[in-house]
Homo-oligomer: A and B are copies of this chain.
Amino acid sequence: MPDNRHAPTRNLACVTVQAQGGGPSAAEAARTIAAAANAATLATLTADGDPWASLVAYGLVGGTPVLCVSNLAEHGRNLAGDPRASMSIVAASDDTDPLAGSRVTLAGTVTRPAVAESDAARQAYLDAVPGAHSYLDFSDFTLWLLQVQRVRWVGGYGRMESVTGKDYHAAAPDPVALGSARALAHLNADHADALVAMARAFGGYPDTDSAECASIDRYGLHLRVRTARGEARARVDFPSALDSPDQLRSATADLARAALRRR
């Protein structure tokens, strides 16, 4: 990130554009959404070529989803008949508007795991769905890998991007995602002043009246800010990317102290 991101005064329009560009890439966001869940909706094709939506559980080997479906179930018969499939995974959200949250579609074709892949696929599914031990080895259940060829990430209204299968696989899930919900709740509950100071000093909104943290990732924070001019979305970055949820507390505290010093 250029040094001037943290300059206290600057052209607001430019800052806003720059701030919106901050945060994880679409490929990283897609990997993070996929890594955080164990349920998705699968789209398959019936024998007539009709689209069929159905709930599935999944594990991951890298970014490759592992499914375990009954051959007797409609989606099991569909995959056996036509390997084309896609999966929609929705990030957990407490927003009442379902379209305000993040989600990703992973599209491609399914294959049966090769012998060398079979143990890892089996274990990935069990790690994600522990209850599967009771049926995973039944002869009427089949493991499938979704070979992801194309990805569509949507981060909420007006935030969306297509990602190639190659870029999706090259990216990594956010390593702080596991601790971010707790850190976010803590910031919003106990550190409203620090969030306002961050938005004013580093977020490009020196006239911020109130601010809340909308999300945290390894690169920094998205803030929802309110000013006399209206509401806006601001971005504040950590000085360097984090590698572990353990770093969240000190990184946000450092950012808060730096912002409060600028008041």
Contact = CB atoms under 8 A, between A and B. Distances in A.
Nearest to A87: B53
A107 B55 contact: no
Nearest to A55: B103
B53 A105 contact: yes
A41 B53 contact: yes
A32 interface: no
Nearest to A149: B50
A42 B50 contact: no
A52 B105 contact: yes
A38 B98 contact: yes
A41 B88 contact: yes
Q: Is the interface of A mostly helix, strand, loop or mixed?
A: strand
Contacts of A130: 97
A169 interface: no
Interface in A54-99: 54-55, 57, 74, 84-88, 90, 97-99
Nearest to A84: B50
B57 A52 contact: no
Given A41-B88, A88-B55, A99 B50 contact: no
A88 B49 CA distance: 17
Interface of A: 38-45, 49-55, 57, 74, 84-88, 90, 97-100, 103, 105, 107, 129-131, 152, 154
30 contacts: A40-B53, A41-B41, A41-B53, A41-B88, A41-B90, A42-B53, A43-B44, A44-B51, A45-B51, A49-B49, A49-B84, A50-B86, A51-B51, A51-B86, A53-B87, A53-B88, A53-B105, A54-B88, A54-B152, A55-B88, A55-B90, A55-B98, A55-B99, A55-B154, A57-B97, A74-B105, A97-B129, A97-B130, A99-B131, A100-B131
Given A55-B98, A99-B131, 13 more contacts: A41-B43, A41-B88, A44-B51, A45-B49, A50-B86, A50-B107, A51-B52, A51-B85, A53-B86, A54-B105, A55-B99, A55-B103, A74-B152
